[in-house]
Chain A
Amino acid sequence: MHRLARFALLVVVVAACAYGVTSYYTGRRSEDQWTWLRLEFHLNTAQLTRIHALHAAFQPVCADHCNRVAAAQLRLTALEQAGGKSSPEYAATAVEWDAIKRECNAATLRHLQAVAQVMDPDQARRYLAMMVPRIARSDHQGPRGVR
């Protein structure tokens, strides 16, 4: 029994060492997002080039949305700090912030779907399953700059 216990301990130690070494060496590999995207979704050069182009085309749209979201958030923060949280202006800005946010989410979802269309069907499904919940998650949160 004593020998069996020692062997069981050895098994645990071996498994833990293998886990640690693999985690260490796998985790050391650093990648930029494009490399990760290419490897994770098995993109060929043509697909990657097309997705690059889609991202480049989306940048101005994204920047415009960013500015509008930031402006609405700043107005909300300023109104909140001025104690006007119950004012009609604050309510109107909150409604506007919400509308911008929905517009941003819709645009981002459209962009993700456009990128997915470039991928192979299986990879596209995986891509959307991985990315869409992250967009949708932010849809249920309150105005972050104000909190």
Chain B
Amino acid sequence: MTDQDPSLSRVLQSWRHDPRAAPRFNAGVWARIEAARTAPWSSAAIIARWCGVPAQHFRWALPLGASLVLLLAATVGAGAGYLQTVRGRNDRMAAAYVQAIDPVQMTAGHHH
């Protein structure tokens, strides 16, 4: 079979392909675009796929995860603030307590 085969050339020249239009193709494309645009839970969809569960059951996963991270941040911040304040107060109080019973420190304070 070569390009010079006249019968093949004739067949190719006369060949036409008319694919049948997919039913509701445009509507389907727009529906998928709209779904992607309005779904803020694409990360949840990844987790859902990974778990083998429909994505719509994971709509709450991202907001819940974000809320938990914020709660953790607040807890860590409050804990750090509390610990540092308590440590600072203990340090101050212990220093004042020892100064009140240590003559060397007491007299040093008076002479400065």
Residues of A within 8 A of B (CB): 7, 10-12, 14-23, 26-27, 31, 33, 36-37, 40, 55, 58, 62, 65-66, 68-70, 73, 77, 101, 104-105, 108, 111-112, 130-131, 134-135, 138, 144-145
Contacts and interface: CB of A to CB of B under 8 A. Distances in A.
Contacts of B88: 27
21 contacts: A12-B73, A14-B73, A15-B73, A15-B74, A19-B80, A19-B81, A22-B79, A23-B82, A26-B81, A26-B82, A33-B93, A55-B101, A58-B101, A66-B106, A104-B103, A108-B98, A108-B102, A112-B101, A130-B94, A131-B98, A138-B104
B77 A18 contact: yes
B90 A40 contact: yes
A22 B81 contact: yes
Contacts of A69: 103-104, 107
Nearest to A64: B103
Contacts of A15: 73-74, 76-77
B101 A108 contact: yes
Interface in B39-87: 66, 69-70, 73-82, 84-86
Contacts of A134: 94-95, 98, 102
B38 to A, nearest CB: 15
Contact of A23 (B76, B84, B102): B84
Interface residues of B, number: 37
B91 to A, nearest CB: 9
Ranked 9 nearest A-B pairs via Cβ:
A18-B77, A22-B81, A15-B77, A65-B103, A144-B108, A145-B111, A19-B77, A19-B81, A23-B81
Given A7-B66, A73-B111, A17 B77 contact: yes
Contacts of A22: 77-79, 81-82, 85
Contacts of B94: 130-131, 134
B81 A18 contact: yes
A131 B97 contact: yes
A2 to B, nearest CB: 14
Given A33-B100, A144-B112, 9 more contacts: A18-B75, A23-B82, A31-B89, A40-B90, A68-B103, A105-B104, A134-B98, A145-B107, A145-B111
B94 to A, nearest CB: 5
B97 A33 contact: yes
Contact of B103 (A33, A36, A108): A108
